[in-house]
Chain A
């Protein structure tokens, strides 16, 4: 148990030496690592720079939470910023005059036709809408057939036309959807490259004619740095209203989504999680942020610590320590409570890089919830006077407490010993300053 108290003291000690605030050096060191991680996740450079500049401004000078190191705290700040930049889930506009048009566009093979089918299913089943599908792809072999098959699988009507002119097909689609009294018309377009001026001009013409309430860029989660240029090319061509990210069912970190969100300023509406037509889900920023960062464990550790250690509790303990007043049993109970709230922290530490040192300090066995519960029971069996002034705990009192708590006397002795040691440390700190404390910690 002494280990964990020593750990707590060290945290307080850190703040004495000015380590309690995130310094520029702390932040920059962490950001260098994070830049590499973001690059590996395929976030485009402009988006990385924007993100990290924002984080730097926010992080420097922040208070370091007890129980995490500065690097971990920066990870959490980046995560929060990343989730904020990814923003809210994009909503479809469905309440315009029917048929409400949804126009899908994107690079070749990004997943438009499949997504058209998924959206049709989602709208028909979850929103009870009458959906009409139409393919404007006259280039890719069997593209029209592909959408017809998909429409059949969903059970919604699809444009039947022999026209090989995308503009003519757009007109036919609008008419057919209106005639079928459809609420929604989904237009699937041919894939087009970001430097193909002819096809981009065609897309602009389709947009002009169909006046979609929703123009969605469908993009692959595995896209690289070109995501920025691609997003820009489509944004310049048509007024995008949202993004759809496909193939998140793979292992790709999906950094392209941040590049595109940053470049277009429009929200991500859905993510594709497989080839099946039911594999479409509304976007959730927090999940993707963790995935892009690749530090989900650190983030959950910091969150755990944040919720476990209320700032006030930590501050009052620290004040006591620094005043050299000495701790009583109530303080020890508070600390045990914190450890219990943090629960499986030991396990989390296993997963984390650079946590070896802290892990050693917090010996797993000492975190056994049963042991912690027993210790609380011991303190609860003490009288108020005993808790306030543990020095009065003679053998008789200890026996009574052991009986009340249903433990061995040796368990009571352990807590008393712990209290003594803690106050010894505090005295050392007061007298010998930092050196005295370090000497003691080193002996463990």
Chain B
């Protein structure tokens, strides 16, 4: 049973019942009257607004972005005759419009090698996403090298090794456990330059931004890579766990300057979670592009970010 089916049962009660009725009345009146001057403006009554707000909140949109969206919905004029599905479709339309500008697949630029740094909190899906990206680009005929710069977590290098085998790409790994992650990144980029590889994907250990020392380590990886290629890394991807909530906002804020984040990947969208925080990021923060979404653990479970489908998921419209 999805979260939505439970939410829907409570919401649709409100919508199809008295709220829809009363709203229908208001909308009718307005449309006959001052339509020409003001445009169609029915009021979202408090109860309907609250029901919609709860739908957004349960999708992790967060209160600030949810309020803004509902204000916009109100200002845009409500559909007629007003039903729950039409209201939700209108809201989905707004959400889609908000997100379309940030839905941009990562473009591998002219730089050769094109260096990509992956960062994020623990367990968000960095290593898996690197495996997926490596497989995708390798299949396009690009020469990819992955760098196992997570020298800390148990099994991290072995995990990336398996992914490198699956994707049939080369891996540069630390000489021994616990060696300097920046050194591994340096070696990988050095090798990519020598071998004329197209892309280098640098895997880093998961870290919470509260750990200053670990954030410094991330900055060091960047600096060391820049010794070889001054404008590298050419992309900094922050991997966000789609099942998380408002904590992701702070993650973007804190990782962005340190890791030179240029875009986002959102994982684990094959769950009941809706990752509505993306909307909060688009509305409240500077709206980093969303490059890909992860929808499973297999190599091909990576897709482009589809704002229309995402919007329908957030408001709880199936399909």
Contact = CB atoms under 8 A, between A and B. Distances in A.
A194 B268 CA distance: 11
Interface stretch (A145-153, A163-171, A385-393, A425-433): A145-153
Most B Cβ at <10 Å: residue of A39, A113, A117, A147? A39
A300 to B, nearest CB: 22
A256 B271 contact: no
Given A44-B58, A142-B159, A143-B155, A222 B271 contact: no
Contacts of B54: 45
Contacts, number: 144
A226 interface: yes
A107 B208 CA distance: 19
Contacts of A225: 3, 57-60, 245, 273
Contacts of B163: 141
A10 to B, nearest CB: 35
Nearest to A219: B243
A275 interface: yes
A275 B153 contact: yes
Interface stretch (B25-33, B41-49, B116-124, B191-199): B116-124
A256 B124 CA distance: 17
Interface string B204-241: 00001111000000000000000000000000000001
Contacts of A252: 247, 250
A129 to B, nearest CB: 22
A37 to B, nearest CB: 10
B162 A142 contact: yes
A324 interface: no
- Report the interface size class on chain B: 35 or more
Interface in A172-206: 193-196
Interface in A89-139: 107-111, 113, 117, 139
Contacts of B3: 225-226, 228-229
B80 interface: no
Interface of A: 36, 39-42, 44-45, 107-111, 113, 117, 139-143, 145-147, 149-150, 153, 193-196, 220, 222-226, 228-230, 233, 247, 249-253, 255-256, 275
Interface of B: 2-3, 54, 57-60, 62-63, 121-125, 131, 152-156, 158-159, 161-163, 208-211, 241, 243-248, 250, 268, 270-274, 277, 297
Ranked 4 nearest A-B pairs via Cβ:
A224-B245, A146-B155, A109-B123, A141-B162
